[in-house]
Structure 1
């Protein structure tokens, strides 16, 4: 996937979905028709079980693997663990805490966040083992830079530079029974959506977005920030408690909406229709609303 464009606007990389239990997340995501990767262990106390999509984006269900290691990491200034803890303290252990942007230069992103007064902490570099469905393993390495405004406890953004991409075959991990091929839209809720433009424009490196109305158009997806009434009107889902900024929904491109409806019905997953979208409300192990949209 292209990590950035000539104009510098960063693409969507992945979504961070806190959960109490990876077993619970794996069961729920499998019932929704996703193939879930083997568990990945971070060196700072968290763990994940990712869902990889053919467009290069992915979901990262995130759980606490070791409370003590995570506590120590936060005490040492690890921004990823610290922001995860802030989110869980505010919203609980199930949710959608962060939108992650792809970058070729996380150092430049961090410098830009600091200059704008929007840095959410020190940069973080780390590596972890990665395995495919056949058991072949490699090492994945990342460098992260974090952004948030001072009032937002329900959401943060960060830029992710992949220093070393694992040399493993992800084809089997991307062949989802529900036919999902990518994330085409991310929807956030805010009581003051206009006030989120500066944070998002700095995070995605698009100065022109400050003066634009409506959605933020990334190279590979759209980020929409809606007021609570607009969110509920569009998807038929309660917007929840007041919030400065909270990521609330992910829209997936699927090949056949009827096939998705049949799969959800067969797996006893309640779902609704909103226009051309199939809407699945959040549940344990699925911290955001999942919207399935047929895109040929």
Structure 2
């Protein structure tokens, strides 16, 4: 892990019903954190990993507050609303990078022509698995691309970190230890290389036979052509006629793939295993494919 690379912070995954999502993630073998409420009407039930990344299943908990936030120009809630209107109630709407200076990121995004709108600062309570609590404060800087209307990118500065032991929340029955890969799809991946170099401070793009890869300090990001994505994810087709960039799937590194497969089978979760990867197709509460593979693959 290089200190020169920007880390991935978390992924935002819209859901239609947060209770259904909590049940689905638990069935998949994840430990789900107690719900967190945002001051602008959205609510989450996060899944934390030991590499300091997390998943954020997100829903609207207070419709009036969310409407007010959209009207006031809140980029986070506005994108969530647009995503569910355009792409569907469940899916993968935002890729979030870590930062120590969101304000500097905001100015850089503006200068480079990729700003997604005004910064957002907010605080919310955080509750640990043991019931201990604290308050977390965040500052967000947004980036966007008109060729990717369903994808939002932002950096997250953790200003106030609650003194809560989060370690128990990072222990998962399915063996998931870290976010190994984030998969995106675009008919012409090379068109988005510049966007990702801007987001990741000129990190090196590695061309592949079906797109490109770019590394964060924690996780690889890979942009694939539709045919390659369909093969990887076990689907017959991917919409090759959609010219936009889509956030498509998430891969987790696990300690023992056999044990992960046995757990999914016990839980009645349908999956497909090939080439050292277990693929779990989307289901209510899980809007995109989840992949599991051992860290050394």
TM range, normalised to the smaller chain? over 0.9
**Is 2:108 aligned against 1:109?**
no
Q: Would the aligned equivalents of 2:11 and 2:55 in 1 still touch at CA under 8 Å? A: yes
Q: 1:189, 1:231 within 8 Å by CA — same for their partners in 2?
A: yes
Unaligned runs of 5+ in 2: none
Q: Secondary structure at the match of 1:214?
A: strand
1:58 to 54, 68, 72: 54
- Deviation string 1:18-41 (CA, Å, 9 cap, x unpaired) is 001110100000000000000000
- Measured against aligned partners, the alpha-carbon deviations of 1:244-277 in whole angstroms (never above 9, x if no partner) come to 1111111101111111111111111110013000
CA distance in 2, matches of 1:291, 1:68: 36
Offset of residue 166 of structure 1: 1.4
Q: 1:239 maps to what in 2?
A: 238
Unaligned runs of 5+ in 1: none
Alignment check: 8 A CA contact 1:201 1:210 kept: no
Q: In 1, distance between residues paired with 2:91 and 2:203?
A: 29
TM-score, normalised relative to structure 2: 0.94
Q: Which residue of structure 1 lines up, in the alignment, with residue 186 of structure 2?
A: 190
Q: Compared with structure 1, are the counterparts of its residues 253 and 137 closer, same or farther at alpha carbon in structure 2 (3 Å cutoff)?
A: same
Query: In the TM superposition, what is the alpha-carbon distance from 1:196 to its structure 2 partner?
Result: 1.1
Q: TM-score, normalised by structure 1?
A: 0.94
Q: Which of residues 21, 25, 30 in structure 2 aligns to 1:29?
A: 25
Select which of 59, 82, 85 maps to 2:81: 85
Change (3 A) 1:36 1:243: farther
- Structure 1 vs Structure 2 CA RMSD: 1.8
Counterpart-to-counterpart distance in 2, 1:42 and 1:52: 18
Asked if residue 269 in structure 1 is aligned to residue 269 in structure 2, the reply is yes
